[in-house]
Amino acid sequence: MKYLIPLLLIGCASRAKLTGTVLDDQMYFNRMVPVEVINAPDSATWVKLNKRQLKYVKPGDKVVFYVKTVRVEYESR
């Protein structure tokens, strides 16, 4: 039990949580849909959905997805 917290922190340290809204309900490129990212200004990306999610998705739906980060660099002031 004492190793559970550090193990979870290691797993979460390499992921970034992004939120967005679905732009179009059409599927492109093997279950990919375009998403406008909310917490990144003026940016959009493609997110892969499973078959069940594709059945119910419509434009304007909010999605939460995680991005694997390799290295994070901070802007120096």
What's the pLDDT tens digit per position in 42-75? 788 888 888 888 888 888 888 888 877 777 677 7
Do the beta carbons of residue 22 and residue 33 sit within 8 Å?
yes
State whether CATH 2.40.50 applies to domain 4-68. yes
Do the beta carbons of residue 44 and residue 31 sit within 8 Å?
no
Query: Cα separation of 42 and 30, whole Å?
Result: 25
pTM of the model: 0.61
pLDDT at 34: 86
- pLDDT for residue 7 is more than 50: no
Query: Cα separation of 25 and 7, whole Å?
Result: 37
The rounded percent of the chain whose pLDDT value lies above 70 is: 79
Residue range 28-55: average pLDDT?
82
